Homo-oligomer: A and B are copies of this chain.
Amino acid sequence: MIETDDITESVVSSIAQMKEISTSFRKQNLTTGFVPTMGCLHEGHLTLVRNSLQTCDRTVVSIFVNPTQFGPNEDLDTYPRELKNDIEKLEALGVDAIFFPDIKEMYPAGHNTTVQVQGITQYLCGKSRPELFKGVTTVVLKLFNIVRPDHAFFGEKDWQQLAVIEAMVQDLNLDVVINRVAIVREPDGLALSSRNKYLSPDERQTALSLSRSLQEAQSEIRRGTTSAEIIIRSMRNLFLDQKGVQVDYIFICDPESFKEKEQIRGRTLIALAVKVGPSRLIDNCIVEEF
């Protein structure tokens, strides 16, 4: 539960007030950068925020655990919430507003509109989590309409999400510039994720196999392997015999169209999703032509 004491001046919970703030930025000819998050902020999020602070006159961060992007058996209820910490981190960086609406503010009774990108959402995470991207595009469009940013910042860890949002922005003729920010990793390679919090020390160790499998794939490709099937088999081997580990997908494809590739030729995305204990983790890398 959120304590009222956690809420400080920079936190805005009403849509009307957030719109007033963003309108006032626009009227002063100040550019607005926007970082949408589900809270529980880590260095990956903070890197997005720093990018926004550098690029734009004003920066707005939203914290909203969006229920419509979780499936019925997913982790909506247990998704980590750390509002007080989040606010402290964001205020320390100097963000101008933190938009923290409750569910009723974003989805009042009778809310019945969805935004959907077809095509690229049928692969990867969209295949495993059919509700995910419809929920993401709907809430991101709502947030864009409320915050009216000139720039928005998303991390490349969610590579497919970025592509889906870029498609929505283009198809719906939105004026926001989408900025891609590289994956932030722990020193040992683990990609930062709020869901890393679920991991026990042992599971944390096991989770390293995601980034390691990507590193090995890159080495193998550098050594001349071009068959996607062989690469995927080597990657999959790393997860064999690991307790409590379940590979959802390992996929090699075009980074824009997400069409599967049989041969590593041209710019290629290698992406994987693996359940480690209670956490479904994702990671990816881009292989440029060697």
Q: What is A's interface to B at a CB cutoff of 8 Å?
A: 15, 19, 110-120, 137, 141-142, 145-146, 167-168, 171-175
Contacts and interface: CB of A to CB of B under 8 A. Distances in A.
**Copies held by the complex:** 2
Contacts of A120: 112
B113 A115 contact: yes
A141 B118 CA distance: 17
A230 B120 CA distance: 51
A15 B173 contact: yes
Q: Is the contact region of chain A dominated by helix, strand, or loop, or is it mixed? A: mixed
Contacts of A117: 112-113
B146 A113 contact: no
A16 B118 CA distance: 25
Nearest to A141: B172
Nearest to A148: B175
A117 B168 CA distance: 17
User: Of A15, A137, A141, which is in contact with the most chain B CB atoms at under 10 Å from its CB?
Assistant: A141
A108 B271 CA distance: 28
A167 B172 CA distance: 18
Contacts of A174: 145
A168 to B, nearest CB: 5
A116 B145 CA distance: 17
User: Of A19, A111, A172, which is in contact with the most chain B CB atoms at under 10 Å from its CB?
Assistant: A172
Contacts of A110: 119, 167
Given A145-B173, A145-B174, A173-B142, A168 B113 contact: yes
Given A113-B118, A115-B115, 5 more contacts: A15-B173, A19-B173, A19-B175, A111-B171, A145-B174
30 contacts: A15-B173, A19-B173, A19-B175, A110-B119, A110-B167, A111-B171, A112-B117, A112-B118, A112-B119, A112-B120, A112-B167, A112-B171, A113-B115, A113-B116, A113-B117, A113-B137, A113-B167, A113-B171, A114-B115, A114-B116, A115-B115, A115-B116, A115-B172, A116-B116, A141-B172, A142-B172, A142-B173, A145-B174, A145-B175, A146-B173
Contacts of A114: 115-116, 118
A141 B142 CA distance: 12
A111 B173 CA distance: 11
Contacts of A175: 19, 145
A115 B137 CA distance: 10
A113 B137 CA distance: 10
Contacts of A112: 117-120, 167, 171
Contacts of A113: 115-118, 137, 167-168, 171-172
A175 to B, nearest CB: 7
